[in-house]
Structure 1
Amino acid sequence: MDQTALNSLAARGFARAACHVGAPATQFRPTDALAPCASPYARVMVAFSAERDFTFSGPALWDVPFVYALMDTRDVRAGDILACGADTAFIARCVPFRPPLCVLCGTTITLTGTTAQGTDQADPGGYATSGDVGAQVTFATGWPAMIRAGGGATVPGPAQPGAIHGGGMEMFVPAIPGIMVQPAMWVTDGDGTRYTIGGTHTGPWGTRCQIQQQQV
């Protein structure tokens, strides 16, 4: 039996199991940075599990957002968004005959920056490191993300003796079509809290950022 046949059999088995223990979900495949969930791609049955063997022995742990999706895997890819009841997750990794690895999201974010950040991506040194709110341009909005306490980042900017530094956080978000997430961009979450990106890495799994909460 080759890998293609094995993958097909596994996908059918996942789909049958999801029909028994899963819940209805909407699958999105974003193509627009400003409207990632505008048009549903498919309706699927999904069950999320913190264990890869799907024993469902407990929920995902606080600030450990990684879960596995029991679902039909014949048409899924990294970056797909799954909305299932109160849970929203994006697929970070999908490989043959194994369940997809997902990141549970706790908020939606808007990504902004100066105009130079969007137009001078070939020369990261060519954009401003900060600016007032009125100078910010929206590059992406409505993206599900996971923000948790982490190492954070030291963001360049004015500092005064005795000043309390903003909290260091870590953000996981799907790769955003047409947008290169860069340091010094701003992130605004669903509660209106603003962060400045200090470091970022985009790869096959999505985008992982070190961010620092703005104090003003």
Structure 2
Amino acid sequence: MDGVRAQSKIYRGMGKAAQRIGLPFDVYRPSDATDPLATGNKVVSALPAHFTADGNYTKPNSYGAATWQAMLDGAQVAVGDYLTGDPGTFFIAARQPLLPILAVSCNRTVSLTQGGTSPVAVGWPASILVESPRGDLPVEDVAGNPANPSWRVLLPAVAGVQIDVADLLTDELLRQYIVNSAELTDLGWRISATQTTLLTDSVIHHYATVIRLIGKTITLRRQTKSGGANPVITNTDYSVKALIAGYDANLINGTTVTVKDLRVIVGTKDVNGNAIPTPAPADWQVIIDGGAPRSVVTVRPEYAGDQIAVFELQSRG
């Protein structure tokens, strides 16, 4: 038996084992640098797969470990593919001959801007874990600021994109990171990055583009009252595309959404090109996923400019 036949038998055996103990995952193969999990990138539906820390079932995965051994039919996937299912999102980092398939668990979704204002990669699931508990000196260099955390980012190779020092990464929690070093290996990108809160022109234009490409459409409703003792209420709805940090449908189902749970970055115009007034607690509501309107209790503006507005909402059902 030669190596090719041995590899085929190994993959086939792993696929049969996954059929018994695995869970279904959809497989996506990125076709360009924008939204790798787009519907058009799906190449396999409901592929049985199982992920384990060491292959021997003797220990669970632990803190700070992003890599897993994947049990699945390796003939159905390629390096750089994403698998999404109930256990989470993974990307295939390596299919080394006669060895277990290496996968990386993704806990964040990132976009990348380099040397300008428009993102060159948008919506890529990645692993972002703490690299150093000490962090670095604050980029803002303001007295009393805590050190900025350092993070290790793992990401598949992105076609046509070469990541370099000083590039900007952002994630779906609306955190932003400056790349300190970037190494492209046969497993994908291994990046060291420092978190920062510095809002530069590049960051503003970056968010404006990401909102346009992959933003979630929500409704901001403004209520105006007229008529004295028995006022007539008029609703004006603004459909806006937004990036929402910490959003979870359970949080707005009859409970209070705290400021930290719902931070929103929106464009300054709605989907029809109309300007959006700054929301105020007295007469504004927010509607997400077609749910019930939630009264806006608190608005804490962080930034309002020509391209984007950043504010934090506290809402109550």
TM range (shorter): 0.7 to 0.9
Q: Which has the higher strand share?
A: 2
Structure 2 counterpart of 1:34: 34
Structure 1 counterpart of 2:177: 195
Q: What letter matches 1:201 in structure 2?
A: E
Structure 2 counterpart of 1:22: 22
Measure the CA separation in 2 of the matches of 1:17 and 1:92.
21
1:209 aligns with 2:191: yes
Measure the CA separation in 1 of the matches of 2:135 and 2:120.
22
Q: Is the contact between residue 153 and residue 211 of structure 1 (CA under 8 Å) also seen in structure 2?
A: no
- State the Cα deviation string for residues 179-214 of structure 1 (Å, max 9, x = none): 111111111111111111111111210001110010
Measure the CA separation in 1 of the matches of 2:127 and 2:192.
12
TM-score normalised by length of structure 2: 0.57
Measure the CA separation in 1 of the matches of 2:140 and 2:89.
37
Measure the CA separation in 2 of the matches of 1:202 and 1:11.
27
Give how far 1:36 is off.
1.0
Measure the CA separation in 1 of the matches of 2:186 and 2:31.
16
1:145 aligns with 2:126: yes
Q: Pick from 171, 196, 199 the counterpart of residue 153 of structure 2.
A: 171
SS in 2 for 1:69: strand
Q: What letter matches 2:165 in structure 1?
A: P
Structure 2 counterpart of 1:126: none
Q: What letter matches 2:99 in structure 1?
A: R
Give how far 1:156 is off.
10
Q: Is the contact between residue 67 and residue 104 of structure 1 (CA under 8 Å) also seen in structure 2?
A: yes
Q: Pick from 150, 155, 164 the counterpart of residue 182 of structure 1.
A: 164
- State the Cα deviation string for residues 39-90 of structure 1 (Å, max 9, x = none): 201121100101123x2x4542122111011000113222111112131111
Unmatched segments (≥5 aa) in structure 2: 199-317
Matches for 1:112-151 after TM superposition, within 5 Å = 112-115=113-116, 136-151=117-132
Q: Which has the larger radius of gyration?
A: 2
SS in 2 for 1:181: coil
Measure the CA separation in 2 of the matches of 1:88 and 1:2.
34
Q: Is the contact between residue 78 and residue 91 of structure 1 (CA under 8 Å) also seen in structure 2?
A: yes
TM-score normalised by length of structure 1: 0.82
Give the number of aligned pairs.
Answer: 194
1:50 aligns with 2:31: no
Q: Is the contact between residue 11 and residue 73 of structure 1 (CA under 8 Å) also seen in structure 2?
A: yes
Measure the CA separation in 1 of the matches of 2:173 and 2:146.
22
Structure 1 counterpart of 2:9: 9
- Structure 1 vs Structure 2 CA RMSD: 2.1
Measure the CA separation in 2 of the matches of 1:155 and 1:185.
18
Measure the CA separation in 2 of the matches of 1:191 and 1:102.
23
Measure the CA separation in 1 of the matches of 2:137 and 2:27.
36
- State the Cα deviation string for residues 111-163 of structure 1 (Å, max 9, x = none): 11333xxxxxxxxxxxxxxxxxxxx2111111011111114986996646765
Q: Is the contact between residue 11 and residue 97 of structure 1 (CA under 8 Å) also seen in structure 2?
A: no
Q: What letter matches 2:81 in structure 1?
A: D
Measure the CA separation in 2 of the matches of 1:71 and 1:196.
36
* Percentage of pairs with the same residue: 28
- State the Cα deviation string for residues 80-106 of structure 1 (Å, max 9, x = none): 111121311111111123321011010
Q: Is the contact between residue 155 and residue 197 of structure 1 (CA under 8 Å) also seen in structure 2?
A: no
Unmatched segments (≥5 aa) in structure 1: 116-135
Structure 2 counterpart of 1:125: none
